[in-house]
Amino acid sequence: MTHYLRSRHQALLVGAVTAIGDNPSLNCRIKGVGGYGGEDLEGQPRPVVLDPTLRWDFSSDSKVLALAANGKGRAPYIICAKHPPELKRVLLERLGGKFITLNISDTGLSKGKLDWADIFQALRDHGIQSLMVEGGGTVINDLLQPHYAALIDSVIFTIVPTWLGQGGVAISLPRRYSADGTPIPAARLKNVIWHPFGEDVVVCGKLQ
């Protein structure tokens, strides 16, 4: 299901922590898409790594770049707020990727970091019309705040009968209160659909 969703979006975004910790492939491996029986790179999303401070020390051996070199995926766009090293820039651009440098916000909820509206607009300026945000926890917690609700078309998550334990990815938004101080839900979905798949349940909905 995840790979099908990837095939239906032009780009796939993860944060730097996910890129560093998981060395992810960030491609679609369904039979028939580009690189897996299909022509060119049709159906392959553009990987996007949100890395404001350039912590991800990628190389040609990183999975996402190795797959791009072998015609089984696209090279990533890296969104940052610093001038990238020349050798990294050359490596990315040789494979069809690039650095996208944005300014740190100095106002509002995004003060001191990149603003999601700026991130989405920059991707749109680079021809990306649909984006699937996969994670990790820091990215999802930030993006699900009410301030950014208008930027999100839908939310899809899977409930599985497994406890990851301490240190696992935790989605826990800041507490919200009404005008009189009463606690209210931090976020809620509407138009919810539940799809059981074996022991797992996939939940789809839109943010209220």
What is the pLDDT tens value at each position of the chain, 208 positions in all?
999 999 999 999 999 999 999 999 999 999 999 999 988 999 999 999 999 999 999 999 999 999 999 999 999 999 999 999 999 999 999 999 999 999 998 877 778 899 999 999 999 999 999 999 998 889 999 999 888 889 999 999 999 999 888 877 778 888 899 999 999 998 899 999 999 999 999 999 999 8
pLDDT score, position 108:
74
CATH 3.40.430.10 is the classification of domain 2-152 = yes
Residue 57 structure tokens: 């020390």
pLDDT on residue 91 = 97
Of 27, 36, 40, 30, which Cα lies nearest the Cα of 1? 30
The tokens for 68 are 């791009």
pLDDT of residue 135: 87
pTM for the whole thing? 0.93
- The C-alpha R_g of the chain, in whole angstroms, comes to 18
Counting Cα atoms < 13 Å in the Cβ hemisphere of 178 gives 5
7-17 b/e with 16+ CB inside 10 Å = b? Answer: bebbbbbbbbb
Name which of 50, 20, 208, 26 is nearest 120 in CA terms: 50
The number of C-alpha atoms within 13 Å of 9 and in the hemisphere containing its C-beta is 24
pLDDT of residue 107: 79
Question: Would you state the pLDDT for residue 20?
Answer: 97
